[in-house]
Amino acid sequence: MRDFQPLHDPATKPPVGLRVDPTPRPLPARIPHKGRSVDLEPLHVRHAPDLWAAAQADNAPESWAYMGYGPFADEAAMRRFVGNFATAHDPLAWAVRPHRTGTVDGWLSLMEIFPAHAHIEIGNIWFSPRMQRTRAATEAMYLLMRHAMDDLGYRRLTWKCNALNAPSRRAAARLGFTYEGTLRAVLTVKGRRRDTAWFSILEEEWPARRDAIEAWLDDSNWDPQGRPKSSLRRKD
């Protein structure tokens, strides 16, 4: 990684950061978001049966390996978790309903919300294995990214993950996040050390990232078998 050179105001001595709009950004609200291939619904305890079925159908406990919770012992345990998770304001969670299945197959959230600093994170992402690496999965993340940056006007969007979570690191790079570094031994999760990798997109970078994702999601990029004609790669 190249050394980072912080931007500063050339008219000041000693150097201080560039002036930015200090207006606090709005808090995200519990509203639905609709896409071409997926809908996001504010997470609710009524989603628990679908989520439990998705987790069981895939028989993949490894999908919980890097989460701070799960797998759940039974549907009642998942229901209790979802009931509590759905009432939190930070993280603020959405259920993910792909059009292809019609069922709720995962969740994701906006979190670490700092309106005064225009900083917000997309995280707490759990997609059942049948939803992973699908058009719906990418669009679900994009809908919240667009909401944070375009609708709410945040200046910095963050992605964090366990530094050992290779799929999450690849997803961050694919969506256009820039790797910033790794905080060593910063958390203890399920009794294990967690090093956390940090990624971000800034407001000046967002238009190019948005355009690349939208082009990939566009119907013209998909063949009759539901396969993308081109890959999603950063253009800069």
- pLDDT tens sequence across 117-147: 999 999 999 999 889 999 999 999 999 999 9
Residue ranges and CATH numbers for the domains of the chain are 33-221 (3.40.630.30)
**Amino acid type, 30:** R
Q: Provide the pLDDT for residue 57.
A: 76
- Using alpha carbons only, what angle is made at residue 189 by residues 77 and 198, rounded to the nearest 5 degrees? 120
Per-residue b/e over 189-212, b at no fewer than 16 CB within 10 Å? eeeeebebbbbbbeeebbeebbeb
pTM, to two decimals = 0.95
Cα gap 148→196, rounded to integer Å: 22
Over residues 70-99, the pLDDT tens digits come to 999 999 999 999 999 999 999 999 999 999
Residue whose token pair is 């009432």: 87
Which DSSP string do the residues of 165-199 spell out, in sequence order? -HHHHHHHHHHTPEEEEEEEEEEEETTEEEEEEEE
With contact defined as beta carbons under 8 Å apart, do 89 and 114 qualify? no
Which DSSP string do the residues of 106-133 spell out, in sequence order? EEEEEEEEEGGGTEEEEEEEEE-TTTTT
Cα gap 49→74, rounded to integer Å: 11
Over residues 30-43, the pLDDT tens digits come to 999 999 999 999 99
User: What region does 157 belong to: left with phi over 0, alpha with psi -120 to 50, or beta?
Assistant: beta
> 156-162 and 119-127: which strand pairing?
parallel
Confidence tier at 2 by pLDDT (50, 70, 90): low
With contact defined as beta carbons under 8 Å apart, do 104 and 47 qualify? yes
Provide the total of helices (H) and of strands (E) in the chain, helices listed first. Answer: 5, 8
With contact defined as beta carbons under 8 Å apart, do 32 and 40 qualify? yes
Over residues 215-227, the pLDDT tens digits come to 999 999 999 988 9
Cα gap 103→97, rounded to integer Å: 5
Confidence tier at 60 by pLDDT (50, 70, 90): confident
The 3 state secondary structure assigned to 23-52 is CCCCCCCCCCEECCCEEEEECCHHHHHHHH
The tokens for 62 are 């490894």
